[in-house]
Amino acid sequence: MNFKTYSAMALSTLMMVGCAGNKQEHQNPLFVASDAKYGIEKYDQITAADFREAILLGMQQQNEAIAAIVACAEEPTFANTIEAYDQSDAYFDKVSSIFSCISSSNSTEELRALQTELQPILSAHGDAITFNKELFARIKKVYDMYYGEEKNAEAPELTHEQMTCLKKVYKSFAKSGAELNDEQKEKLAALNLEIGKLQLQFRQNLLHETNNTFVTVDTREELAGLPEANIEAAAKMAKEQGQEGKYMFNMQRPSCNPVLQFCSNRDVRKKVYDAYYNRGNQGNEWDNKAISAKLVKLRLERAKLFGYNSAAEQILSDRMAKNSENVYNLLDQVWKPAVAKANEELADIRVEMKKDGLDCEPEGWDYMYYSSRAKAAKFAIDEAELAQYFEINNVLKGIFYVANKLHGLTFKEITGQVPTYEPTAQTWEVYKDGELYSIFYNDYFPRESKGAGAWMSELRSQNYDANGRTINIVQNVCNMTAPTGDGPALQNMDNVETMFHEFGHAMHYMLHDVKYRHCYNVERDFVELPSQINEHWATEPEVLEVYAKHYQTGEVIPAELLKKLDESGKYGQGFATVEYVAASLVDLDLHVLTEVPENLDVMAFEQEVLKKRGIPRQIFPRYRVTNFSHTMGGGYTAGYYSYMWAEVLDCDAFEAFKESGDIFNPELAKSFRENCLAKGGIDEGMEMYKNFRGKEPSVDALLRKRGLK
């Protein structure tokens, strides 16, 4: 059946189903222009059925636009082929973006069912476009006019962004299988369908495991050392789960991490540790071992279909790193000093354990607890005292201060004046030079419907229309420590840096000034530069004096505490670096395989490759394979190294500000904004970086920052 016909039929059928038996007429908010401020969609009124109808309509509209391109009697040009294709998914992209954002941050059973239902339809839609021979023939004809062996000297001149758009459109088709024969295309479509289905199932399994794996503690005495706010949150969770009088922890980091860091009860720490690291590895219906192994196998099959030896070879070919050898070279430079530093930290942990009368070797569930004690002993720093200076609203003021000093952004809160998908989210107008530039939603607190971790996404992309540059809607979603009762939402330093990190992503997209969709995104291993460089300002004294204020007295963080914070900043970097690099290595090791064993045991594979590299047995990778959504859920497949790759860039880039003597140097900020933020993916990542820095980056600044050199 022709897919375009299927989409139209499905849309018609679903619309009839949606109306059947509905006594009150419901108008799909995605079918009409919103009368809300800035035309923001009424997110809280959109149902799963609305999303279904709108996404199917979006596919139908794109199919019609592509049919018009193919039917065009004129010779292919940039305007009638490349630009027309680039804009063909305008409505589809709009509704898909909203669906993606809401289903990640406010998931429901209905939305998860819809994701499962739509996945094969979306996969087939994408393949049908890629495999459209007439469309690709027109695209290739335009490409050959400008990039082919016999360029047409009389071809109309294109702008730099148009040339990039042309190249990216052509390469996206070639990389997606447009040049394969019919038999290969049929096999590729089947692989894409199965991989997409498994990645979605992996993510949904992990969401369930994270929010529905609990450790229950019977008495308050068993939680000795845990801060009062965390005890209250655990009591609240237990009450919500029908266990009033007890204390429960799920596997969201704000719930379980404080136990590992502060609770003196070793048995409780072990239970939480085992539950957290074994998400997706419990032999139940949400187990991800078989899914992970099958994904590794299918990704390799897909790569070989294109003539590559491994999935990593295929994936890295258009990244900054280019190949796995360059990635391993970077990770190896960091791995050895990180392991050495982690072993030094273990020696400190053994000293602390002996103070408690423990002569046994440290275990994984001892690491965070005794490392925190060792840090406190070395630097006389109290994490609970420190958190009193990091109230979440004050931290946000610090984030806005940096954005203003660097890029001239100002913020006006409009919470309650515009629609939102979640009552606890805040909304802001973002101005640059007096002009409205973006809308920002911050959604900071955990809930069952929200995925684990932290991320940035766009509810609406920046574009151009008849009136010029359009404003986008950017969303930061995190799982910060929530307030309990009338208490404040006090954060640890890790949460503070996460907030700065995700806002760095947000600022990158707020400042986008891009006309063509295919020029919008940067390489995966460049995308973390804007986020990670923003973390550097979080711990600068000038910035801390702005936001690090005691939640009760308003007193700015004392100079002596600032000094301790600075001195202790590098402590624990052995553990942090090893757990991150370990995950990066496992991700890459799985995807450089040129043959996959028939009965691949992903957990045994993980253990074996890390043991050979000398990882301390007390440290697991930051994410184990069965809960490693970055790679198994898609997005960062063979690319988790990107954070470290980008850290080389961000440390080297921030050093430019430090060398200038002004961390807000206006000329450097302007250069970074114009070369690395506003352009999106118009230029390649390394070219953008060198245009800013004037040279290629060095790993030395990263090693110094982490205390590894």
Residues known to be catalytic: 502
Measured CA to CA, the distance from residue 443 to residue 299 in angstroms comes to 34
Report the SS3 class of residue 577: helix
Report the SS3 class of residue 107: coil
Residue 682 tokens read as 């118009």
Measured CA to CA, the distance from residue 350 to residue 346 in angstroms comes to 6
Contact (Cβ atoms closer than 8 angstroms) between residue 107 and residue 206: no
In sequence order, which residues have a C-beta less than 8 Å from that of residue 72 and are 6 or more positions away? Answer: 80, 81, 138
Alpha-helix residue ranges (DSSP H) falling in 408-492: none
Contact (Cβ atoms closer than 8 angstroms) between residue 166 and residue 82: yes
Residue 594 tokens read as 């040129």
Measured CA to CA, the distance from residue 539 to residue 90 in angstroms comes to 41
Q: Which residues pair with 432 in a beta bridge?
A: 409, 435
Contact (Cβ atoms closer than 8 angstroms) between residue 127 and residue 96: no
Contact (Cβ atoms closer than 8 angstroms) between residue 632 and residue 625: yes
Q: Which residues pair with 490 in a beta bridge?
A: 391
Measured CA to CA, the distance from residue 665 to residue 657 in angstroms comes to 6
Residue 276 tokens read as 């957290």
Burial class (CB in 10 A: 0-12, 13-18, 19+), 342: buried
Report the SS3 class of residue 611: helix
Report the DSSP pairing between strands 468-469 and 464-465. Answer: antiparallel
Phi–psi pair at 468, nearest 5 degrees? 110, -150
Measured CA to CA, the distance from residue 668 to residue 568 in angstroms comes to 29
How many of the other CB atoms lie within 10 Å of CB of 559? 10
How many of the other CB atoms lie within 10 Å of CB of 63? 23
Contact (Cβ atoms closer than 8 angstroms) between residue 479 and residue 450: yes
Longest alpha-carbon distance in the chain: 85
Measured CA to CA, the distance from residue 360 to residue 354 in angstroms comes to 9
Report the DSSP pairing between strands 472-477 and 435-443. Answer: parallel
Measured CA to CA, the distance from residue 306 to residue 172 in angstroms comes to 13
Measured CA to CA, the distance from residue 293 to residue 682 in angstroms comes to 36
Separation of first and last alpha carbons in the chain: 62
Residue 596 tokens read as 């996959």
In sequence order, which residues have a C-beta less than 8 Å from that of residue 111 and are 6 or more positions away? Answer: 48, 51, 99, 102, 103
Measured CA to CA, the distance from residue 84 to residue 104 in angstroms comes to 31
E-assigned strand segments in 239-340: 247-249
Residue 586 tokens read as 């496992």
Report the SS3 class of residue 152: coil
Measured CA to CA, the distance from residue 458 to residue 512 in angstroms comes to 12
User: Which amino acid is located at 46 in the chain?
Assistant: I
Q: Which residues pair with 186 in a beta bridge?
A: none
Measured CA to CA, the distance from residue 596 to residue 584 in angstroms comes to 19
